[in-house]
Amino acid sequence: MTHTLAALPMFRELGQEGLRRLEAVARLRRYPAGQVLCTEGDPADQLIVLLDGRVKAGRVSVDGREVVLAVDAAPVAFDKTTLLVEGTHRATLTAVTPVEVAYLPRVAVLEAIATEPSVAARLMRTLAETVRDLDERLTDAVVLDVSARVAKWLVRHSEGGRVRLHAGQAGLGAEIGATRVSVNRALRSFERRELVEIGDGEVTVKDAEALARIAKTTPADTGGKVRRKYE
What radius of gyration, in Å, describes the C-alpha atoms of the chain? Answer: 19
Most confident of 9-18, 20-29, 61-70, 169-178: 20-29
User: With b meaning 16 or more CB within 10 Å and e meaning fewer, what string describes 140-179?
Assistant: beebbbbbbbbbbbbbebbeeeebbbbbebbbbbbbbebe
In this predicted structure, what is the pLDDT of residue 223?
40
Binning pLDDT at 50, 70 and 90, where does residue 94 land? very high
Determine the 3-state secondary structure of 11 from DSSP.
helix
In this predicted structure, what is the pLDDT of residue 222?
37
pLDDT higher than threshold 50 for residue 226: no
Binning pLDDT at 50, 70 and 90, where does residue 170 land? confident
Binning pLDDT at 50, 70 and 90, where does residue 219 land? very low
Contact 167, 71 (CB under 8 A): yes
Which of 128, 130, 127, 178 lies closest to 151 in space, CA to CA? 178
Range 201-211 average pLDDT = 91
pTM: 0.68
In this predicted structure, what is the pLDDT of residue 217?
60
Most distant pair of Cα atoms in the chain: their distance: 58
Using a 10 angstrom Cβ sphere, with 0-12 exposed, 13-18 middle and 19 or more buried, the burial of residue 90 is middle
| Beta bridge pairs of residue 197 | 204
pLDDT tens by residue, 98-124: 999 999 999 999 898 888 888 888 888
Contact 71, 55 (CB under 8 A): yes
pLDDT higher than threshold 90 for residue 203: yes
pLDDT higher than threshold 80 for residue 39: yes
The 8-class DSSP code of residue 195 comes to: S
